[in-house]
Structure formats: structure tokens, C-alpha cells
């Protein structure tokens, strides 16, 4: 008897096929999620540095999101520039400035306040003596080894930016198309550039919420259990959530592409 193959409406044993977990975005989320273990084992990271790694990584993603907003095409800006009833639409320049400003204020500013709070509460004396950004970069980022996972985040965000923003605008013989993202049906007819921006913005916000929640819970119980709850929540819970979200998004995108390919 031939093997049964699930049809378009058939139910698979597991909603996310195992092969999906080997896709580069999912592998990246997993490696980045468990990287604090390497920091603790090889660089002697304490709770403060584990927290800094995740918060600084979110700040990096927020800055790349701001760059995406700053470089949105005029066609995409018109979608956000629509005015309310009875009001004229915003100018492209005002819309670009507004989106860029919101991306910075909505990510980097709250994270900077959170970093300041974490530094005041949990930093060792050598970190509390920091008086400038240069000192912070040299002592916290470089000498501790935080620069390595942060550099990986920068490279990964740069790859996504090049694929979504730079390559589609190059005059190539075979024009590069921005891959469509698995977003809500009401946005499925938008351009690939707009879908990519909305998708990336949603993931930055979601990562921030998961990280802040994990850090907050870990801090509440850290007085009695030390670094253990932080590691468990940030390495275990946050990594699992990030991997499942990324893998689920890939599955949704593949299903949508398959439905569009049917005659």
C-alpha cells in the first residue's frame, strides 16, 4: 500500500515539519539563543552581561529597522502617508521622518532606559565606574566578548537588509524579487518591500516583549536563585519561542506560496 501523502487540507503529525528547523533563520535564532551558555562557560559572563547581550542585540535590530524606514521607497511611503478623513496626506519627507523616529523611539529609547536600570541594579563595581559610551564599548562589549554575538546580529540584519532593500533596486538582468512574508490577509496585496518592513517591525516588537518579560521574571526570582533563572528563561524559554515563531512563519510562507502556485 503506497504511503499516504497529506493533501492541502490534511493534518500533519506536527504543524512544523522537522526540515524547517534547519532553515538559516531558524538556525540563527537557535545559535543566538544559546550563545549566553558559551559566554558563561568561556568568558565568565555574569547575569549583567547575559542581560546586556540580549538588550544590545535588540537595540541593533531596532537601528536596522530605523534604517529600513529611512530607505523606504516613495511608493511604500504613500501607504503610510494617507491622511485621515478631511486631512491632506503627509509629505513623503514627513512620513519618512515619522517612521524612522518611531522606530528609534519605540526600540532604542526604552532599551536604553532598561540598560541604565540593569546597570544600576546588577552591574559589578567595574561596570558602574563607566562614565562614557567609549568606556561602555571597551569594558562591556569588547573585553567581555559581547562583541562576537552582537557582530553576528549585525551581519544577519545586514543580510536581510540587502535582500529586502538593496538587491531589488539594482538594475540586474534578472531582477531580484523581495520574498513575500506571511503576514495578515489584509496586507497580503502590499508590495514585497512593504510586507518585509511590516514583518520585520512586528518581529522586533515581539522579540522585545519576550525578552523584557523573560528578564523581568528572571530579575524577580534572581535574589534567591542567582543567574540560574535568567539563563533558563533567556536561553530556554526565549530561544524556544523565537525558534518556533521563525519556523512557523516559514511554514506559513510556504503554504501561501503553494496556494498561489496552484492553477
According to the model, what pLDDT value does residue 165 have?
85
In whole angstroms, give the CA distance from residue 142 to residue 130.
14
According to the model, what pLDDT value does residue 158 have?
92
Across 202-211, average pLDDT: 81
User: If pLDDT is split at 50, 70 and 90, which confidence band does 170 have?
Assistant: confident
Q: At 84, phi and psi to the nearest 5?
A: -70, 175
Q: Is pLDDT of 154 > 90?
A: yes
How far separated are the first and last CA of the chain, in Å rounded? Answer: 29
Q: Is pLDDT of 112 > 90?
A: no
Q: From the CA atom positions of the chain, what is the Rg in Å?
A: 21
Cell numbers linked to 256: 501561501
According to the model, what pLDDT value does residue 2 have?
40
Q: For 241-263, what is each residue's pLDDT tens digit?
A: 778 777 777 776 666 656 655 55
Q: For 172-196, what is each residue's pLDDT tens digit?
A: 767 666 565 555 565 666 777 787 8
pTM of the full structure? 0.77
Cell numbers linked to 206: 515581539
Cell numbers linked to 25: 533563520
According to the model, what pLDDT value does residue 66 have?
92
Cell numbers linked to 7: 493533501
In whole angstroms, give the CA distance from residue 232 to residue 137.
27
In whole angstroms, give the CA distance from residue 84 to residue 231.
47
Cell numbers linked to 50: 547575559
CB 194 within 8 A of CB 3: no
Number of Cα atoms under 13 Å in the Cβ half of residue 82: 5
Amino acid at each position: 500500500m503506497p504511503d499516504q501523502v497529506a493533501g492541502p487540507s490534511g493534518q500533519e503529525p506536527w504543524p512544523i515539519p522537522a526540515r524547517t528547523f534547519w532553515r538559516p533563520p531558524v538556525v540563527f535564532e537557535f545559535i543566538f539563543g544559546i550563545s549566553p551558555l558559551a559566554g558563561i562557560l568561556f568568558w565568565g559572563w555574569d547575569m549583567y552581561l547575559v542581560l546586556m547581550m540580549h538588550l544590545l542585540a535588540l537595540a541593533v535590530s531596532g537601528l536596522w529597522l530605523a534604517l529600513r524606514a529611512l530607505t523606504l521607497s516613495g511608493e511604500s511611503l504613500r501607504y503610510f502617508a494617507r491622511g485621515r478623513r478631511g486631512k491632506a496626506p503627509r509629505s513623503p519627507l514627513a512620513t519618512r521622518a515619522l517612521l524612522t523616529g518611531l522606530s528609534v523611539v519605540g526600540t532604542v529609547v526604552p532599551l536604553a532606559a532598561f540598560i541604565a536600570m540593569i546597570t544600576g541594579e546588577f552591574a559589578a563595581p567595574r561596570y558602574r565606574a563607566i562614565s562614557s559610551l567609549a568606556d561602555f564599548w571597551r569594558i562591556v562589549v569588547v573585553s567581555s566578548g559581547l562583541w562576537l554575538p552582537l557582530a553576528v546580529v549585525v551581519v544577519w540584519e545586514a543580510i536581510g537588509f540587502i535582500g529586502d532593500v538593496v538587491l531589488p533596486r539594482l538594475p540586474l538582468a534578472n531582477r531580484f524579487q523581495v520574498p513575500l512574508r506571511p503576514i495578515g490577509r489584509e496586507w497580503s496585496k502590499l508590495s514585497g518591500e512593504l510586507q518585509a518592513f511590516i514583518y520585520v517591525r512586528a518581529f522586533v516588537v515581539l522579540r522585545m516583549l519576550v525578552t523584557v518579560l523573560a528578564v523581568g521574571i528572571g530579575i524577580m526570582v534572581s535574589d534567591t536563585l542567582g543567574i540560574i533563572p535568567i539563563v533558563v528563561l533567556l536561553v530556554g524559554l526565549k530561544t524556544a519561542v523565537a525558534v518556533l515563531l521563525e519556523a512557523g512563519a516559514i511554514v506559513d510562507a510556504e503554504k501561501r506560496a503553494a496556494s498561489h502556485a496552484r492553477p
